[in-house]
A and B are shown apart, each in its own frame.
Chain A
Amino acid sequence: MRRALFIGLAGAGLAAVILLPLGLILKQAVTPEAESFAWPPTWLPHAPTLANLRELFGSVELPDGLRLSLLVATLTVLSTLALTLPAAWLAARAPTVGRPLDALLVIARLFPSIALAVPMAVLFVRIDLYNSPAALGLWIAHTLLAVPFAFFVLRTGFRRIPVELEEAAQLDGATRLGAALRVTLPLAWPSLAAAALLVFLVSWDEFAYALILQVTNRPLPPLLYYFAAFGYPGMASAVAAIMLGPAVVIIILLAPAIRSGGLTGSGR
């Protein structure tokens, strides 16, 4: 009884910690800009309004920013998976390849992106990728950022799939690659989904590269920053509320795949 109460309280506390910021974002998004600066601050808007959202959608920046963020995140998912899928499979199956690759990718994560963004911007100015309308430079930067995350998720996923399944497929007449494609890849679907989700969110939320590499064609995070920095907390919160959308949708879509136990039945 007491234990149930404790678990209930802990759960409620955890939910509050997670939900409170979400609540604040949504509250701020429907609060008139004037009321935002009222003192003492209000818990609920006195005069809720959709003006912030209306104004946001009326502007050029939001539809362009939304389109750009979606484009960069989607392209980043595709390029990152294309790069890491073969590498992670190889690393899972051949430890001699895997160990140096592990070390390399951990080292790659040691540099803060804000420190890399400036030299990268200089490079992109030279090769004409700086502030590109389709955010090609940002796409490259996000891919580099996301590769280690996807690699470790996928490699762990591949390691969980017994190598005997691939060996059996080779004896059954498949080439080494054919065995990986026909047997391992379908079984790796849950980790593939998890990696895709993670990479999408890495790109979708990324701020430092987006701020520095794109000046006029801005994806959503720097857009939000500009609204906040120039004194429009309501507009900034409206952008934040919009940014929550894809994350929620993706998590709901992919949750069953990530939870599934696709490996039962292969062995004894």
Chain B
Amino acid sequence: MAAAQFEHVCKRFGDVVGLDDFCLRIGDGELVSVLGPSGCGKSTLLRLTAGLDRPTSGTIRVGDRRIDDLPPHQRDVAMVFQSYALYPHMSVRDNIEFPLRMRRVPSSARRARTAHIAGALDLIPLLDRRPAALSGGQRQRVALARALVREPALFLLDEPLSNLDARLRLGVRHYIRALQRQLHVTTIYVTHDQGEALTLGDHVVVMRDGRVQQVDTPAAIYERPANAFVAGFIGTPPMNLLSATCAGDALLFGEHRVALAPSHSVRLRAHTGALLVGVRPEAFTNGGVDGLEAVIDPSTSEILGSETLVRGTIGRETVTVRLPGIVRDIPRRLSAPLEALHYFTADEAGARLGDP
């Protein structure tokens, strides 16, 4: 149990940048989820933290110990691999006891700790089986038990749910969170699934191309995305991003003109010209509010039960709109209030604009 700190950690593989100037502080007992598309550097981050790779530069500290130059077995970092990596020639009991044996824990203490963690993870009846005789969910619990039995200072999870079928996933997600809170173990949880990242993390790190895009609470990631990438990555369906031009007191979507309230035009004054306007699909309502109005094509509706998705246009831009529940009679016009709009620069960085 300890806080963890990454300072300017870089990893290059030849010319390829795996991780670029990664800085992060994780509080004691906190769970940080790292989210991003494949190749964003999240697995590199785990391997550097575990000691399976060495950083090109930068430092990693756990507690008051600098660990980035230590071999894996001296780091006190545990990891659950995506493939679980259970030892197939050992029983479940021997798998769980392995880290304790390696640390020369006396056999009585070893038995007690194994029994304790096996009890917590419902593994007692399986202790004498080989991994080959277990189901996917059971193997996953053995992998968790093996990582947690020695009470590591830092706990790493690499897409631990990706090999489970959808039915099991939700249950195991709650289970991991409850276990992590109960053991109060500092945790890095890597995933490409935003649902997992947002529900599990105390903080969420969004990454892309080896660079951190935003570090924030799940609510802030959703409410105030730091740039156009995060905006377009988070949310199901993600935020609509529309090319527009800011002309003082109005936004122009091609010919279509949306008048801005004075407060907005003040905020955007410095950014006259091209920009990206973001609006979440769920921001649109039938309330006849004054704001960004979309012309809806009712023939595109997709009824998903808890929600209905439909497409519309604003000027020449297409937007996805999400209405709660089943909507059979779709209005021709829906609008989003101006307060629900996000503004980003139109360049590659897509930086967030105009916050008061």
Interface, chain A (partner B; CB < 8 A): 162, 164-165, 167-176, 178, 183, 186-187, 262-268
Residues of B within 8 A of A183 (CB): 87, 89
Instruction: Sample 20 A-B pairs with CB under 8 A, ordered by A number.
Output: A164-B85, A167-B72, A167-B81, A167-B85, A168-B85, A168-B87, A169-B98, A169-B102, A170-B52, A170-B72, A171-B50, A172-B98, A173-B99, A173-B102, A183-B89, A187-B88, A265-B130, A265-B133, A265-B134, A267-B86
From B163, which residue of chain A is reached at the shortest CB distance? A268
Tell me, yes or no, whether B103 is within 8 Å of chain A by CB: yes
- Tell yes or no: B146 within 8 A of A by CB: yes
Interface presence of B48 (CB below 8 A): no
- Kindly state the separation between the CA atoms of A263 and B83 in the bound complex, as whole angstroms: 13
Given known A167-B81, A266-B84, contact A172–B89 (CB-CB < 8 A)? no
Q: Are B81 and A168 in contact (CB under 8 A)?
A: yes
Instruction: Evaluate contact between B71 and A164: CB separation under 8 angstroms.
Output: no
B88: which A residues are within 8 A, CB to CB? 187, 262-266
Asked if A267 and B134 make an inter-chain contact with CB atoms under 8 angstroms apart, the answer reads: no
- For the complex of A and B, the 6 pairs showing the least CB-CB separation, nearest first, are A173-B102, A265-B132, A265-B131, A268-B163, A168-B85, A172-B99
B83 and A176 contacting across the interface, CB-CB below 8 Å: no
Interface magnitude class on chain B: 20 to 34
Structural contact, B78 and A171, CB atoms closer than 8 A: yes
Known: A164-B81, A268-B163. 18 other contacts (CB 8 A): A164-B83, A167-B81, A168-B87, A169-B102, A171-B72, A171-B77, A172-B78, A172-B98, A172-B102, A178-B102, A183-B89, A265-B88, A265-B131, A265-B133, A265-B139, A266-B84, A266-B88, A268-B139
Q: Which residues of A contact B87 (CB under 8 A)?
A: 165, 168-169, 183, 266
| Chain A, Cβ-Cβ closest to B164 | A268
- B52: nearest residue on chain A (CB-CB)? A167
- B210 within 8 Å of A by Cβ? no
Docked CA distance A263–B88 (Å): 6
Bound Cα distance from A170 to B98, whole angstroms: 11
Q: Are B99 and A162 in contact (CB under 8 A)?
A: no
Q: Which residue of B lies closest to A164 (CB)?
A: B85
A266 — nearest CB in chain B belongs to which residue? B88
Which chain A residue lies CB-closest to B84?
A267
**Residues 84-105 of chain B: 1 if any A CB is under 8 Å from the residue's CB, otherwise 0?**
1111110000000011001100
Tell me, yes or no, whether B136 is within 8 Å of chain A by CB: yes
Chain A residues within an 8 Å CB radius of B133: 265
Query: Closest approach, in angstroms, between the C-beta of A96 and any C-beta of chain B?
Result: 13
- Residues of A near B41 (CB, < 8 A) are none
- A173: B residues at CB distance < 8 A: 73, 99, 102-103, 150
| B29 part of interface (Cβ distance < 8 Å) | no
Chain B residues contacting A168 (CB-CB under 8 Å) are 79, 81, 85, 87, 146
B residues adjacent to A (C-beta < 8 A): 50-52, 71-73, 75, 77-79, 81, 83-89, 98-99, 102-103, 130-134, 136, 139, 146-147, 150, 163
CB distance from B227 to the nearest CB of A (A): 34
Contact indicator B136/A268 (Cβ below 8 Å): yes
Known A-B contacts A170-B52, A175-B71; A266 and B83 likewise in contact (beta carbons under 8 Å): yes
Distance in Å: Cβ of A184 to nearest Cβ of chain B = 10
Instruction: Identify the closest chain A residue to B134 (Cβ).
Output: A265
B73 touches A171 (CB 8 A): yes
Structural contact, A264 and B132, CB atoms closer than 8 A: yes
Contacts of B150 in A (CB 8 A): 172-173
Closest to A179 in B: B73
When distances are taken between beta carbons in the complex, the residues of chain A under 8 Å from B85 are: 162, 164-165, 167-168, 266-267
Contact (Cβ within 8 A) B73 A170: yes
User: Which residues from B are CB-within-8-Å of A265?
Assistant: 86, 88, 130-134, 139
Contact check, B73 vs A268: say whether CB atoms are below 8 A apart: no
Question: What is the distance, in angstroms, from B149's C-beta to the closest C-beta of chain A?
Answer: 9
C-alpha spacing A265/B134, complex, angstroms = 8
Taking the closest CB of chain B, its distance from the CB of A9, in whole angstroms, is 39
Task: Chain B residues near A172: list those with CB within 8 A.
Answer: 73, 78, 98-99, 102, 146, 150
Most buried by A among B52, B134, B139: B52
The docked-state distance in angstroms from the alpha carbon of A175 to that of B95 is 17
Contacts of A175 in B (CB 8 A): 71, 73
Given A171-B78, A262-B88, A268 and B71 contact (CB-CB distance below 8 Å): no
Cα A168 to Cα B102 in complex, Å, equals 12
Q: How far is the CB of B310 from chain A (nearest CB, A)?
A: 38
The interface residues of chain A lying within 8 Å CB-to-CB of B79 are 168, 171
- In the assembled complex, the CB of A95 is this many whole angstroms from the nearest CB of chain B, namely 14
Residues of A within 8 A of B73 (CB): 170-175, 178
Contact between chains at A170 and B71 (CB < 8 Å): yes
CA distance A267 to B142 in the complex (A): 11
Query: Whole-angstrom distance from the CB of B142 to the nearest CB of chain A?
Result: 10
Shortest beta-carbon distance, A164 to chain B, in Å?
Answer: 4
Minimum Cβ distance to chain B for residue A162 (Å) = 7
A263 to B134, CA, bound (A): 14
Is A266 a contact partner of B131 (Cβ separation < 8 A)? yes
CB neighbours of A171 from chain B (8 A): 50-52, 72-73, 75, 77-79, 147
Kindly identify which residue among A178, A186, A267 contacts B83, using a CB–CB cutoff of 8 Å.
A267
